[in-house]
Structure 1
Amino acid sequence: MSPVATLTAVNNNDTLGLAVPPFTPHAISVSLPTWRDNVEYEAGDKRVIDVMVSGYPRFFIHLSIQKLARICEQKFGVKGELCLLCPSKKVADHCRAYIIDRSSRLGAAVPVRLVQYLLCPEDTSGASTTESNTRSLSQHCVELHIVLFPADAFPLAKQFWQHSGLTVSSRLAEHCLSLIPEAVEPPKSPRSPTSPVHSRSPFKALNKHYSVKSSPKIPQVSPASTSPPPPHTDFSESLTKDQDTYVEERYGRNLPVTAGEFAKRALRRRIAGVLVSDDTPNNGASTSEFCAGAQDVEVGPSSRGVREVAEDDVYLFPTGMAAIWNAHQLALNIRPPAKSVCFGFPYTDTLKILEKWGPGCHFLGRGLDEDIDTLEQILEEESRISRPASTPPITALFTEFPSNPLLRCANLPRLRALADKYDFLLVVDETIGNFVNVEVLPFVDIVVSSLSKIFSGDANVMGGSLVLNPAGRHYSALKRQAASSYEDLFFIEDAVFMERNSRDFKRRVRIIDSNTEAVCDFLRSRSVAGGYANSPAINEVYYPKWIARENYELCRIKDSSGRPDEKGGGFGGLFSLDFTSDVASRAFFDALPCYKGPSLGTNFTLACPYTVLAHFTELQWASEYGVDEGLVRISVGMEERGVLLRSFEVALNAAESATR
């Protein structure tokens, strides 16, 4: 579907619960097209839950992963046990420890068992060329680590999956299923009624895309049912998995799966900013000749603001949240025990990580300049507490640049000065700003980012990165700890898709930056903050152009004359709207003709009622930090600008009419 079509043809209830984008087997968003749909999704209403076939991977467990889990429960579980699948023994150990720790806080610790499941390929000597190329992914056995626990402990296991981001990817699950001979759907295991996993019958044929001709819903099986799923239709696309893989590789879009390590090296170089030329394969040309991950590709000093950054200072993870979780673990392991600081209102799971692992955290949720004064008071008070003289008052400070969803930026030079004075780590999530627009690395010890967002853009693969600053005072300690603890859990097929998607990252960012600024200029001209007086529906447009701009400018990429660089330095592709009334919020959201669902940084425009989705059970708490219940967050895409502006005018007119 073309970008223009996404703003004219998708805003209807027929898409509820389907993948966003459509016909995407590994989509990381789901269609929730109306305000009511979002509220009832969070409330667990059967009308919405029963039609869900997709979702954000840390919240909705992909159908292939659910199927693999049910097979593992049948094979290794005992009556009343459920399981969570982990990509390594170390992750399984962390998951087990988390479940035991959290359950013991609520009462008695629950029993947790670990099982290692070794999956090995069958003989492929008689396979076709395309089949062999696809199956070359499985030349070695795959270790799957299974965490088994009583069914009523599933919500705790799901918390670990959601917060840590150390998940099994849907592509890895499909690969594991392909290694199980005649993987037959076993009887459905009972799921806890409180479980956020929406158990649904999977497609009959594995490794098939959704039908391009129609998008029928899969028949629902009650989460509490113990009977086998009902018969269902095979919604196979005309291309098989093998054929689709051949097309992707032969015509230059994807590297072959055998080149997974090339893809990862290309990603690390791209993120490190060391590629002198980022050539891409075309028309099936040799990987070694064109791949940015080839051994003989020319690299130079980093463009990230610290020339010494190298590709081996970049670490890849299966999700952005896993990068944040690992940054926190690095801090806990190299610094003396102390609380951390969460500065500014962050994406929800960042705060959960800091609260639930380690000694806890101080939360300065507004993230304003005056909150740095409060931070200084905390640092002084903690320094006076009786402790060894060498112990810093806090372990690390985590902040986003800009923050999600209020688009605020902290004064990083001032925070850096405090970090040097009081000897703590400074960790910044640059996902929303991205390194085409902002240069935060010189001020921090660690930069983390969700590659699932604009770096990918296609919303069909998850990934995350962590970059160490070689000029940082704690670099040597961080590097040593990373060398001993880092696990590469980024599944190679996911890396191949991420490499393909990110080749034109910089070009897409510039288009999206320009589109977003035009849309925000229009919306703010009709807001209270912009001086509009004719029954305005919008109070404020949260966007770095107007929100804490002086702090954004401190890190905004500029040319040699001090002006924003023509090749970057925009304000990003995300903004949020604060409305004058709840009725205006709902009218605007329902009338906006674009995809509606979780996630951001997509090549197409995507909107969501952010507070409802992220803080449904804590709306009052969120409002105390300026995140109102009616907030609408919008990620702008690459559609034609005139179409975008007309679409937002339609939504704004509806909101203003509702206000009147």
Structure 2
Amino acid sequence: MSATIATTLGTSVPPFTPHAISVSLPTWRDNVGYEEGEKRVVDAMVIGYPRFFIHLSIQKLAGICEQKFGVNGEKCLLCPTKRLAEDCRTFMLSRSAEAGTTTSVRLVQFVVCPEDKKTNGSSRNGVNCVELHIVLFPAASFPLAKQFWQHTGMGISSRLAERALSLLPDETVQTKSPAPAPIARPMKSTNRHYSRSISIPKSPTIPGPTSPTKRAEEPDTIGADESTYLEERYGRNLPVAAAAAAKRAMRRRIAGVLVNDGHHDTHAGSNDVEIGPSSRGVSDVTEDDVFLYPTGMSAIWSAHQLALGARPHAKSVCFGFPYTDTLKILQKWGPGCHFYGHGSATDIDSLAEMLEKEASTSSSPPILALFTEFPSNPLLRSPDLVRLRELADKYNFLMVVDETIANLVNVELLPYADIVVSSLSKIFSGDANVMGGSLVLNPKGRHYQELKAYMAANYEDCYFDEDAIYMERNSRNFRKRIYAINENTEALCDFLRAQSLAGGASAPCVIKDVYYPKWSTPENYERCRIKAATSDHQRDGGYGGLFSLTFTTRAASHVFFDNLHCNKGPSLGTNFTIASPYVILAHYAELDWVEQFGVDPGLVRISVGLEDRGTLLAAFEKALRAAEEAVKSSEATQ
């Protein structure tokens, strides 16, 4: 495990990965420091989760756009399409008005072509121009723009930024960018994910070696052209020109229609590959029912936009304690949201009462859509989809289910949903070097025709081709990886639960509970878990690769986390084990609020990888013993 572990604060996870989607935050104190904007931590950051930390290449490109098009110190956000730039402007203006303030937002289109480089004999060489849509606004309004970036996941990708930079004249790229205008520190109650300022790097896009006074580790310095050549010539990547085929291959994988996806004699995106009925529990699903997005969050945001565009407007329901941005989307777009944060049977009873009351006063559906995760993040609770589906049919609303954590190899969720969304950035990719998301329509759903018609008229493919190439490559063996990770995770959870209070262990155990679908609402999970004996699948589905631990004391949480020998940082579903004090990162400004839904601020979330099982067990046992010793020492001194 040690060969792949990033231990230096602020560096990429995995190490030396220019487009990594996670960042090393190796201690509990580092994570708190990140949330509090501690200079020691912020200054060390060279990368971060892409919706929270704007990649250095994007910062560089934004600085160039601000110099070229900005006036009076304006800042900007970069979007891949005109419609998304307009959506960003609408969001900023409406949120500003709701807060009783005013702002101004301008849109500029900027097309960068190979000819702009003006090198000797330059030509397009098969490389397309890059179209940027620039949202310009006063520097003080940057936190509003950052909210749009984070919640929607619809900003440009770091690979698109690097492509644009490679096409710009050298003198433009090398020009020193100005420092950003100062932004007032937010009040403590504000979630810092929504307000962290960025600085435009003064170094080249890919920073070079550092001195002892600079950041300790930077992304790999290999050039983009060399990287592309190596991947296509000696790696597994398709050429960039085959992006359409790569996207078609992914849509077929997600639709479950590939008969022999593991056989690479014929590429999964080719016209002569063998296609069969879907294995997703709804046999009529085809690749045309699958839509790709730049991130998992953009798939969720787009599902909500789809609902708002195709159905009568009403509030939505967020059922169960969700990933933070899902709730923010439902609250900040459209008429608002009803929140049932426990996701329990009692919550379903309360939901049914509310629906009946609302339906009695109007002929329109009482709610627009119900959004839920299966299972939830971070408590791994699975909602009762049977009862929720019955309510959806009775009261005529949409069911949107996020399958990211369980994934399509382990469970069949589409029969219960109108729309299934997923973050492909997680286990579908596994390599943590590219973002992506998917949205699947259920062709048997009662609202399928109107949903499909809306998508036909409004869907924009803004998934950058080079990102799709990497995602397609990473996903070719995702089923085999998931089965292996299922087994590793179950073995690890069995070991830890046996030494927890929930598992019947006695003092001096320090683990309070292990949250894992095998024990968290198991009856709901088992109903959807794939059984090979009763389906076309060759293997039973497992319980996934994610679990969470809570501890008897806050000190035990900290010591366990600090002594756990694995990667530490945001994200999940990686091929390597990665741990995070998830509640600190996702809810630091609202810890009291989350506790009322059973979410412990000392919770440690672990995503298990493909490491040797014995090595994994030894690493967790060592951290556990360190936590036990710390508690004993504390008790002895009292």
Question: Would the aligned equivalents of 1:52 and 1:198 in 2 still touch at CA under 8 Å?
Answer: no
Q: Secondary structure at the match of 2:65?
A: helix
1:271 and 1:202, CA in 2 relative to 1: closer, same or farther beyond 3 A? farther
Q: CA deviation at 1:108?
A: 2.5
Partner in structure 1 of residue 192 of structure 2: none
User: Hey, what does 1:188 align to over in structure 2?
Assistant: 179
Q: Which among 353, 363, 382 is matched to residue 409 of structure 1?
A: 382
Measure how far apart 1:654 and its partner are.
Answer: 1.2
Residue 189 of structure 2 is matched in structure 1 by none
Aligned partner of 1:179 in structure 2 is 167
One-letter code of the match for 2:159? Answer: R
Corresponding residue SS for 1:290: coil
Which residue number corresponds to residue 252 of structure 2? 269
Residue identity matched to 2:52: F
Partner of 2:349: 373
CA distance in 2, matches of 1:30, 1:156: 24
Q: Does 1:470 align with 2:443?
A: yes
Which of residues 18, 38, 54 is equivalent to 2:31?
38
Cα displacement (A) at 1:215:
7.3
Residues 487-516 of structure 1 deviation map (CA, whole Å, 9 limit, x = unaligned): 000000000000000000000001100000
Distance 1:233 1:552, change over 3 A: closer
**Helix, strand or coil at the partner of 1:615:** helix
Q: Distance in 2 between matches of 1:71 and 1:138?
A: 21
Give the whole-Å Cα distance in 1 for the aligned partners of 2:2 and 2:220.
Answer: 27
> 1:422 maps to what in 2?
395
What does 1:129-148 align with in structure 2 at a 5 Å threshold?
136=125, 138-139=127-128, 141-148=129-136
Post-superposition offset of 1:295: 1.3
Gaps of 5+ in 1: 221-231, 282-288
Contact 1:610 1:631 in 2 (8 A): yes
CA distance in structure 1 between the partners assigned to 2:291 and 2:357 by the alignment: 35
> Relative to structure 1, is the Cα distance of residues 565 and 4 closer, same or farther in structure 2, using a 3 angstrom cutoff?
farther
CA separation in 1, counterparts of 2:19 and 2:203? 13
Question: 3-state SS of the aligned residue for 1:599?
Answer: coil
**Partner secondary structure for residue 449 of structure 1:** strand
Counterpart amino acid of residue 180 in structure 2:
S
Distance 1:155 1:215, change over 3 A: same
Q: How many Å apart are 1:370 and its aligned residue?
A: 1.6
Q: How does 1:594-605 map to 2 (within 5 A)?
A: 594-605=566-577
Paired amino acid for 1:201: P
Question: What letter matches 1:649 in structure 2?
Answer: E
Cα shift at 1:218: 8.5
1: CA distance between counterparts of 2:217 and 2:253? Answer: 43
Q: In the aligned structure 2, how far is the partner of 1:216 from the partner of 1:323?
A: 41
Determine the C-alpha separation between the residues in 1 that align with 2:119 and 2:136. 37
**In structure 1, which of residues 74, 85, 105 is the aligned counterpart of residue 78 of structure 2?**
85
State the partner residue of 1:294: 270
Q: Deviations over 1:587-641 (max 9, x none)?
A: 1000000000000000000000011000011010011111111011000000000
| Distance 1:36-1:236 versus aligned 2 partners, 3 A rule | closer
**Structure-2 change in CA distance of 1:240 and 1:336 (3 Å):** closer
Q: Which residue of 1 aligns with 2:3?
A: 5
Give the Cα–Cα distance (whole angstroms) in 1 for the partners of residues 32 and 389 of structure 2: 40
Please name the residue that 1:549 is paired with.
Answer: 522
3-state SS of 1:432 partner: coil
Q: 2:138 pairs with 150, 156, 162, which one?
A: 150
Is 1:318 the counterpart of 2:302? The answer is no
Q: Distance in 2 between matches of 1:290 and 1:168?
A: 32
Query: Retained in 2: the 8 A contact 1:510–1:568?
Result: no
1:47 equivalenced with 2:20 (yes/no)? no
Residue equivalent to 1:539: 512
Question: Residues 326-359 of structure 1, C-alpha deviation per residue, up to 9 Å, x if partnerless?
Answer: 1001111121121110000000000000000001
Cα deviation, residue 164, structure 1: 0.8
What are the within-5 Å matches in structure 2 for residues 111-122 of structure 1?
111-122=104-115
Match of 1:433 in 2: 406
* TM-score using structure 2 length: 0.93
Matches within 5 A, 1:176-575: 176-182=164-170, 183-184=173-174, 185-194=176-185, 195-199=195-199, 201=201, 203-204=203-204, 206=205, 219=214, 237=221, 239-279=222-262, 290-385=266-361, 387=362, 389=363, 391-560=364-533, 567-575=539-547
Rounded Cα–Cα distance in structure 2 between residues aligned with 1:523 and 1:217: 41
2:91/2:148 contact within 8 Å kept: yes
Residues 1:656 and 2:628 aligned together: yes
Name 1:587's counterpart in structure 2: 559
For the Cα contact (< 8 Å) 1:49–1:198, is it kept in 2?
Answer: no
| Letter of the structure 1 residue corresponding to residue 112 of structure 2 | L
C-alpha deviation, 1:125, in angstroms? 12
Deviation, structure 1 residue 561? 5.2
Two-structure CA RMSD over aligned residues (Å): 2.2
Say if 1:456 and 1:502, in contact at 8 Å, map to a contact too. Answer: yes
CA distance in 2, matches of 1:415, 1:127: 64
Q: Which is further off, 531-540 or 167-176?
A: 531-540
Matched AA of 1:594:
C
CA deviation map 1:55-75 (0-9, x unaligned)? 000000000000000100111
Give the Cα separation in 1 of the matches to 2:217 and 2:339: 50
Which amino acid letter does the alignment assign opposite residue 384 of structure 1? S
Residue 114 of structure 2 aligns to a residue whose secondary structure is coil
Say if 2:596 is the partner of 1:624.
yes
Deviations 1:107-161 (A, max 9, x none): 1221111111111112899999xx99xx75623x222001111111100100000
CA offset at residue 290 of structure 1?
2.8
In 1, Cα distance between equivalents of 2:219 and 2:29: 29
Distance 1:459 1:233 in 2: 18
Is the contact between residue 11 and residue 217 of structure 2 (CA under 8 Å) also seen in structure 1? no
The structure-2 alpha-carbon separation of the partners of 1:569 and 1:125, relative to structure 1 and needing over 3 Å to count, comes to: same
- Cα distance change on mapping 1:250 and 1:276 into 2, 3 Å: same
Preserved contact between residue 424 and residue 438 of structure 2 (Cα < 8 Å): yes
- Partner-residue secondary structure (3-state), 2:501: coil
Query: Match for residue 614 of structure 1?
Result: 586
**Is the Cα contact below 8 Å between 1:61 and 1:197 reproduced in 2?**
no
| Distance in 1 separating the partners of 2:459 and 2:34 | 36
Aligned match of 2:91: 98
Report the TM-score when normalising by structure 1: 0.90
Cα shift at 1:87:
0.7
Equivalent position SS for 1:342: strand
1:403 CA drift (Å): 0.3
Aligned to 2:550: 578
Q: Is the 8 A contact 1:202 1:218 kept in 2?
A: no
Counterpart Cα distance in 2 of 1:127 and 1:634: 52
Distance 1:235 1:54, change over 3 A: closer
> Do the aligned residues in 2 keep the contact of 1:416 with 1:444 (CA within 8 Å)?
yes
Matched residues, number: 620
What is the deviation of 1:538?
Answer: 0.9
Bigger CA drift: 192-201 or 641-650?
A: 192-201
- Of the three residues 12, 15, 25, the one matched with 1:22 is 15
Q: Deviations over 1:456-476 (max 9, x none)?
A: 000000000000000000000
Please report how far the alpha carbon of residue 655 of structure 1 lies from its aligned counterpart in structure 2 after TM superposition: 1.3
Percent of matched pairs sharing the same residue:
63
Equivalent residue in structure 2 for 1:162, among 150, 166, 173: 150
Which amino acid is 1:79 matched to? N
Distance 1:629 1:216, change over 3 A: farther
Q: Secondary structure at the match of 2:145?
A: helix
